[in-house]
Amino acid sequence: MKYFIFIFFFVLQLVGFSQQKKYSLPVISSTKSNVVYRGIPNPISIALPGFFSKDIVVNVNVGKLEKEESENDYTYFFEDTIQENQVTFSVFIKQKNRRIKLVGSWDFRLKEIPKPIICLGSNCTNGFLLYENLQKASALFANFQLNQTSCGLDFRIKEFKVKHIKTNGDSMVFECTNQILNKEIKESFKNAEDGDTILIYDIIILGPSRIEKSDHELLFVLKKI
């Protein structure tokens, strides 16, 4: 399945046409800090004031760029196996003599899709967990760390397991097939006692490029006030 996760907006501006038709260097800006991600389609919009898309040629030195049906839209894609850490977008204008003239070139960083952290409700850190906070949790989430930006990337929990270990050593295992806590898990949490352990593991994440098992687990020790 093809996921259009985020959009780069290129604003290419030609400034100061002289009488000799000389081009000044255009200006480019991006809402995503000039970053494209490996292994997923990167929707891109390219606009050059005063020109139609049919008069513009855009080349990349690595990966693949495809023109979409709408006027200014493209899709850029490169495989996980590509080792380069940047891609150069070069924009040309078609001229009457059938030649093309370079308007400018810009480097964009190639980055891995950031890995999200797993949170039970708003609880993302292993350790003691207050009983009232356990009861407030309604779902398992794949979130980004504070020093990361989601960049419009979508991660969802596909399935996971919960092991509820009582203080007497008895344990119960539950399986959930989406990110919302099912009735059995909620009932187990409701009946939890001080000192019980909650382990959330075997977490399967549906990401923008693939389904994968997370190496993240959550371990809480319940604390009642």
- d(CA 39, CA 128) in angstroms, rounded, equals 38
Task: Express each pLDDT in 136-176 by its tens digit.
Answer: 999 999 986 544 454 567 788 999 999 999 999 999 999 99
Half-sphere exposure of 62 (CA within 13 A, CB side): 19
Q: At 61, is the pLDDT very low, low, confident or very high (cuts 50, 70, 90)?
A: very high
Residue boundaries of the structural domains of the chain: 8-111, 117-223
Task: Express each pLDDT in 107-141 by its tens digit.
Answer: 888 888 878 889 999 999 999 999 999 999 999 99
Taking residues 202-214, report their average pLDDT: 85
Q: At 186, is the pLDDT very low, low, confident or very high (cuts 50, 70, 90)?
A: very high
- d(CA 27, CA 94) in angstroms, rounded, equals 19
DSSP string, 71-118: TTEEEEE--TT---SEEEEEEEEE-TTS-EEEEEEEEEEEEPPPPPEE
For domain 8-111, give the fold: Immunoglobulin-like (2.60.40)
CB 160 within 8 A of CB 200: yes
- The neighbour count for residue 202, using CB atoms within 10 Å, is 15
- pTM here is 0.66
Q: At 42, is the pLDDT very low, low, confident or very high (cuts 50, 70, 90)?
A: confident
Query: Which among 111, 118, 138 is positioned nearest to 213, based on CA atoms?
Result: 118
Task: Express each pLDDT in 10-36 by its tens digit.
Answer: 443 333 333 344 444 444 444 456 788
